[in-house]
Amino acid sequence: MNRTLFIGAGGVGRVALLKAAQHPEIFDDIVFASRTVSKCEKIVADAAFPRDIPTEQVDADSVEELVALFKRYQPNLVVNLALPYQDLTIMEACLAAGAHYIDTANYESPELAHFCYGPQWAMHDRFRSAGLMALLGCGFDPGVTSVYTAYAKKHIFDRMDTVDIIDCNAGDHGYPFATNFNPEINIREVSAKGRYYENGRWIETDPLELKRVYDFPAGIGPKDMYLLYHEEMESLVKNYPEIRRIRFWMTFGQSYLTHLQVLKNVGMTGIEPVEFEGHQIVPLQFLKKLLPDPASLGPRTVGKTCIGCLISGEKDGQPRQYYVYNVCDHQEAFKELGAQAVSYTTGVPAALSAALVTGGIWRAEGVFNIEQFDPDPFMEKIGAWGLPWEETFSPNPVE
């Protein structure tokens, strides 16, 4: 029997748990845990699974609590859908309890608005010695975009020269300002310096300094998108050193950007504690409490997301352009699993990745990024799991 333990009961956790529950032929036994067990119970109540799904409370910042939970249930695989701050504690607990590990985003320090794979990659030898696998970045970006790149290298190109990862959320939730995933992580990410890789070096930009307009497919049309740093670029240039330039772009509406700038100007996006009436508070964490819960946006969000990779390179001595992408409708996602498309597009790939690991299709010893495995089983199944992909060889370029 393969027991899979899911941690995290936010929007992504909801999607991953419910999607896994749709496949009892793969997931023999499921356990669901989070800091707030009542959230787990509400999600499990919506799961169409033929067996009981135990729910547990756990503090994912505590290795001791995690180890106790893992040893009690003895999961083969732990799927981390909690915050990126907790990646290292959950990985440590997996090593102590003998469980494989999956996550959707790389480690971030609560004290520093900086994220990289280094601390997780540094655990490679320990996982290998334990005969365990840690599979990193199994959401959409990182995740599906990384698999898209691996697929392009295997089937479309002899050499990849440039990769532009373009992420468009054309949804409308009706609020003047809200984030589609954890507000603290979202605002830290957007407020950070931008970075892209070109000709062997990383080039830093001011936050949201570089802007392009891209005409997205599926009737979405032209949208403003801005260059950000995103973690899959770090692993992709490591695993595909031929890439000459890689950039990541994300769309933002003007209302979001205006609110974000004002909040930044008055200090509400800060991560250093300040004293308020005798208490130490972190402004960004306080702001998070005031904003709508991303998990609550599903019923009111309309529109589509479009996320994909625009790649240039060479095949059989000839230049080639290629665009591979997914379009996801917010209302269709909510109709199926009760979550908006941003949660859906992250939770579904996490569940499918867990299925491939559980089934032994993706298996190795050590710490790996998702693009290091054969992309074909993932690409063959991801459409049936809810995220069909499209491709074109005559895309609009990113200037």
Please say which residue of 323, 339, 355 terminates a domain.
339
- SS3 for 321-363 is EEEEEEEEEHHHHHHHHCCCHHHHHHHHHHHHHHHHHHCCCCC
Q: Does 184 share its domain with 252?
A: yes
Mean pLDDT over each residue of the chain, to the nearest integer: 93
Q: Does 113 share its domain with 206?
A: no
Residue at 311 is within a domain:
yes
Question: What does DSSP say about strands 201-205 and 279-281: parallel, antiparallel, or unpaired?
Answer: unpaired
Q: Does 313 share its domain with 264?
A: yes
Q: Does 269 share its domain with 125?
A: no
CB 120 within 8 A of CB 84: no
pLDDT reported for residue 251: 94
pLDDT reported for residue 5: 98
Residue at 375 is within a domain:
no
The CA–CA distances, whole Å, from 150 to 158, 202, 309, 334 equal 12, 22, 11, 30
CB 260 within 8 A of CB 236: no
Q: How far apart are the first and last CA of the chain?
A: 51
Q: Which residues form the domain of 254? A: 144-339
The one-letter amino acid at 361: I
Q: Does 93 share its domain with 215?
A: no
Please say which residue of 320, 339, 358 terminates a domain.
339
Residue at 386 is within a domain:
no
Residue at 37 is within a domain:
yes
pLDDT reported for residue 113: 61
pLDDT reported for residue 112: 66
Q: Does 306 share its domain with 200?
A: yes
**pTM higher than 0.85, yes or no?**
yes
Residue at 380 is within a domain:
no
pLDDT tens, position by position, for the chain (399 residues)? Answer: 789 999 999 999 999 999 999 999 999 999 999 999 999 999 999 999 999 999 999 999 999 999 999 999 999 999 999 989 899 999 999 999 999 999 999 988 776 666 789 999 999 999 999 999 999 999 999 999 999 999 999 999 999 999 999 999 998 877 777 776 667 667 777 778 999 999 999 999 999 899 999 999 999 999 999 999 999 999 999 999 999 999 999 998 777 777 777 877 778 778 788 888 888 888 878 877 888 877 777 788 899 999 999 999 999 999 999 999 999 999 999 999 999 999 999 999 999 999 999 999 999 999 999 999 999 999 999 999 999 999 999 888 887
Q: Does 27 share its domain with 89?
A: yes
Residue at 357 is within a domain:
no
**Cis amide leading into 24 (omega within 30):** no
Q: Does 166 share its domain with 60?
A: no
pLDDT reported for residue 326: 98
pLDDT reported for residue 20: 98
Q: Does 158 share its domain with 177?
A: yes
Residue at 98 is within a domain:
yes
Q: Does 112 share its domain with 160?
A: no
pLDDT reported for residue 257: 75
pLDDT reported for residue 308: 98
How many domains are there within the chain? 2
Residue 121 belongs to domain with CATH number = 3.40.50.720
Please say which residue of 86, 116, 136 terminates a domain.
136
The CA–CA distances, whole Å, from 186 to 113, 181, 213, 223 equal 11, 6, 21, 19
Q: Residue 1 class from Cβ within 10 Å (0-12 exposed, 13-18 middle, 19+ buried)?
A: exposed
Length of the chain: 399
Residue at 205 is within a domain:
yes
pLDDT reported for residue 287: 78
